[in-house]
């Protein structure tokens, strides 16, 4: 069974719970590390928790959510080895995997998306990294975090 790590802050509880339910319906084992209470928590803490769990191994990908998705995606991208995309539509979710080999995606619980978030999640899951010329670019992305570019 494929396994996914998910985390959220107080700004994306409803959205995250719908994503978790959707992933489980698709047959994923979900490790939800986020909150279900509206009590304030800091999105950098949720991002580092999810990314640390992912990097420990055994996960196919991760999803992180906060009010806008911006802060938690920026935080996730500070963790070595993480490539977190913040898709705004199905095309971007597809390209995040096909071209950037993203291992995390982020969403905002307070954002009104023009396309359904669950459809974006599905597009990400159902896409595969194309490799080829894109691998060179992903290698360059990863070199940046090590300061070798």
Query: Could you say which architecture CATH assigns to the domain 3-145?
Result: 3-Layer(aba) Sandwich (3.40)
Q: For residues 28 and 72, what is the distance between their CA atoms, to the nearest angstrom?
A: 22
Q: pLDDT truncated to tens, each residue of the chain (149 aa)?
A: 799 999 999 999 999 999 999 999 999 999 999 999 999 999 999 999 999 999 999 999 999 999 999 999 999 999 999 999 999 999 999 999 999 999 999 999 999 999 999 999 999 999 999 999 999 999 998 988 866 54
Residues annotated catalytic, as ranges: 66, 99
Cβ–Cβ < 8 Å for 63, 107: yes
**pTM greater than 0.85:** yes
Torsion of CA 121, 122, 123, 129, to 10 degrees: 90
CA–CA distance from 133 to each of 98, 99, 100, 129, 137 (Å)?
11, 9, 11, 11, 7
The residue ranges of every structural domain in the chain are: 3-145
């Amino acid at each position: 069974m494929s396994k996914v790590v998910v985390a959220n802050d107080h700004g994306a509880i409803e959205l995250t719970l719908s994503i978790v339910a959707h992933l489980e319906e698709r047959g994923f084992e979900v490790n939800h590390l986020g909150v279900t209470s509206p009590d304030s928590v800091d999105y950098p803490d949720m991002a580092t928790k999810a990314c640390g769990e992912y990097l420990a191994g055994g996960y196919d990908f991760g999803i992180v959510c906060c009010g806008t998705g911006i802060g938690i995606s920026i935080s996730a991208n500070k963790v070595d080895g993480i490539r977190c995309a913040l898709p705004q539509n199905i095309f971007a979710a597809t390209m995040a995997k096909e071209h950037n080999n993203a291992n995390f995606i982020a969403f905002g619980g307070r954002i009104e998306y023009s396309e359904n978030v669950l459809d974006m999640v599905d597009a990400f899951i159902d896409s595969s990294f194309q490799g080829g010329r894109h691998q060179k670019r992903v290698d360059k992305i990863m070199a940046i975090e090590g300061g070798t570019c």
